[in-house]
C-alpha cells in the first residue's frame, strides 16, 4: 500500500508541474520577442559565441521534445521553439545550447550523467526481469533468498536514483548558462528575461519531482528488504 501511495502522490505532483509548465510556455509563447530572433537563430548565435562550430541545430517533431544529443552533437528543437520568436522559445533554445556548451567544456556532471546512461538502462532492464519473474514465480523457481533479491532490486533502483540526482545539477547549470547568455547578449528585455527564467524554473521542477519520486521509492524498497519489514 505504501508503494502505491508513493506512486499516486508523485504522479499527482508530476501532473500538476507538467500542467503548470505547459501553461507557462503557452503564456510566454504569446509575447513576441523584441529582438525578433527565432529559436533556431538564437541557438546558432549562442553556439557561435561559445566557439562551437560542430553542433547542428535541427527541428524535430513533438511538443516540448527539445533536447541536446551528445552522441551526434545536435541541438534538437520542437517546431514551436525552432520557429518561435518569443520568450518561451528563447528560454528552451538557449537551455539546450547550454548543454552543448557543457559538452564542449567537459562539464563534470554532464560527463558523469553520460557515463551513467548505459548503467541506468541496464538497471531498468534488471528491474523489469525481477518484476516479471516475481509475477510468474520465477524467483521461487530459482530459490533465491530474499536478501539476494533485495540487493539486486535496491542496487538497480539505486543506480536509477543516482541518475536522477546527477541530472539535477546538469539541468540547473544549463539554465544558468542560458539565462546569463541571453541577458549579457541583450537578447531579451528585463520583462522577457523574467519570463524566460520562470519558464525554465518550471521545466527544472519536472526533474526535481522525478528525483524525489525515485528517492522515495528507493527508500521504500530498502525498508522492505533491509528494514525488518514484511
Catalytic amino acids? 96
Q: What angle do CA 171, 175, 181 make, to 5 degrees?
A: 145
- Rounded distance, CA 104 to CA 185, Å? 20
Q: Are 40 and 29 in contact (CB under 8 A)?
A: no
Q: Are 96 and 42 in contact (CB under 8 A)?
A: no
The count of residues in the chain is 230
| Cα–Cα separations (whole angstroms), residue 76 to 80, 82, 112, 153, 197 | 12, 9, 22, 34, 20
Q: Which residues pair with 24 in a beta bridge?
A: none
Q: Are 61 and 79 in contact (CB under 8 A)?
A: yes
Amino acid at each position: 500500500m505504501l508503494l502505491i501511495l508513493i506512486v499516486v502522490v508523485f504522479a499527482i505532483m508530476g501532473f500538476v508541474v507538467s500542467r503548470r509548465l505547459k501553461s507557462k510556455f503557452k503564456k510566454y509563447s504569446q509575447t513576441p520577442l523584441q529582438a525578433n530572433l527565432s529559436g533556431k537563430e538564437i541557438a546558432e548565435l549562442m553556439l557561435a559565441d561559445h566557439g562551437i562550430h560542430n553542433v547542428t541545430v535541427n527541428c524535430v517533431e513533438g511538443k516540448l521534445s527539445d533536447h541536446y544529443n551528445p552522441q551526434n552533437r545536435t541541438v534538437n528543437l520542437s517546431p514551436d521553439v525552432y520557429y518561435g520568436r518569443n520568450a518561451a522559445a528563447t528560454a528552451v533554445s538557449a537551455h539546450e545550447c547550454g548543454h552543448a556548451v557543457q559538452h564542449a567544456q567537459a562539464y563534470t556532471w554532464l560527463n558523469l550523467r553520460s557515463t551513467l546512461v548505459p548503467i541506468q538502462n541496464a538497471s531498468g532492464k534488471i528491474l523489469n526481469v525481477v518484476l516479471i519473474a516475481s509475477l510468474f514465480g520465477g524467483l521461487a523457481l530459482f530459490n533465491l533468498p530474499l536478501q539476494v533479491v533485495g540487493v539486486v532490486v535496491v542496487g538497480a533502483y539505486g543506480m536509477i536514483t543516482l541518475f536522477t540526482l546527477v541530472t539535477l545539477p546538469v539541468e540547473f547549470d544549463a539554465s544558468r548558462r542560458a539565462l546569463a547568455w541571453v541577458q549579457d547578449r541583450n537578447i531579451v528585455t528585463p520583462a522577457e528575461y523574467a519570463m524566460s527564467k520562470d519558464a525554465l524554473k518550471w521545466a527544472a521542477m519536472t526533474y526535481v519531482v522525478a528525483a524525489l519520486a525515485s528517492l522515495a521509492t528507493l527508500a521504500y524498497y530498502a525498508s522492505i528488504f533491509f528494514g525488518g519489514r514484511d
